Copies of this chain bind each other. A is one copy, B any other.
Amino acid sequence: MDARLTDEHERVQETAREFIESEGGIDLARRQIDGENVVDDLWNELADLDYTAITVPLEYDGFGEGMVYLAALLEVAGRYALPGPLPETAAVAVPLIRDLGTEDQRSRFLPSVADGDLRMSVAVYDDETEPLPGGIRMGAERRGDEGTTEFRLEGTKTLVPYAAETDVVIVAARTREGQGYDGVSLFAVETDHDAVEATRMDSLDWARPMYELSIDGLTVGEDALLGPLHGGGSALVTAMDRFSVAGTAMLVGAADRAVELSVEYGTEREQYGQPIGRFQAVKHRTADMWVDMQSARSLVYYAAWALDEDEPDAARAAAATKAFAADRLHRVFGDDIWNHGGMGFTWDHDAHIYLKQAKSWRNFLGSPEANRDRLIDARLAAERNR
Contacts and interface: CB of A to CB of B under 8 A. Distances in A.
Interface of A: 279-281, 284
A282 to B, nearest CB: 9
A280 B284 CA distance: 10
Nearest to A280: B280
A153 to B, nearest CB: 42
The residue in A279, A280, A284 that gathers the most chain B C-beta atoms within 10 A of its C-beta is A280
A85 B280 CA distance: 44
Indicate how many identical chains form the complex: 2
A12 to B, nearest CB: 40
Contacts of A281: 280-281, 284
Contacts of A279: 280
6 contacts: A279-B280, A280-B280, A280-B281, A280-B284, A281-B281, A281-B284
A343 to B, nearest CB: 20
Contacts of A280: 279-281, 284
Nearest to A279: B280
A281 to B, nearest CB: 5
A279 B279 CA distance: 8
Contacts of A284: 280-281
A353 B71 CA distance: 50
Nearest to A282: B280
A280 B282 CA distance: 9
A5 B246 CA distance: 58
A222 to B, nearest CB: 52
A279 B281 CA distance: 9
A276 to B, nearest CB: 11
A319 to B, nearest CB: 24
A279 B284 CA distance: 11
A272 to B, nearest CB: 13
A386 to B, nearest CB: 26
A284 B281 CA distance: 8
- Nearest 4 CB-CB pairings of A with B: A280-B280, A280-B281, A279-B280, A281-B284
A281 B285 CA distance: 10
Nearest to A278: B280
A334 to B, nearest CB: 17
A280 B281 CA distance: 6
A322 B140 CA distance: 53
A275 B280 CA distance: 15
A273 to B, nearest CB: 16
A356 B279 CA distance: 34
A172 to B, nearest CB: 35
A329 to B, nearest CB: 23
A40 B271 CA distance: 60
A214 to B, nearest CB: 39
A280 to B, nearest CB: 4
A304 to B, nearest CB: 35
A220 to B, nearest CB: 48
A279 B280 CA distance: 7
A36 B4 CA distance: 60
A174 B279 CA distance: 60
A284 B284 CA distance: 12
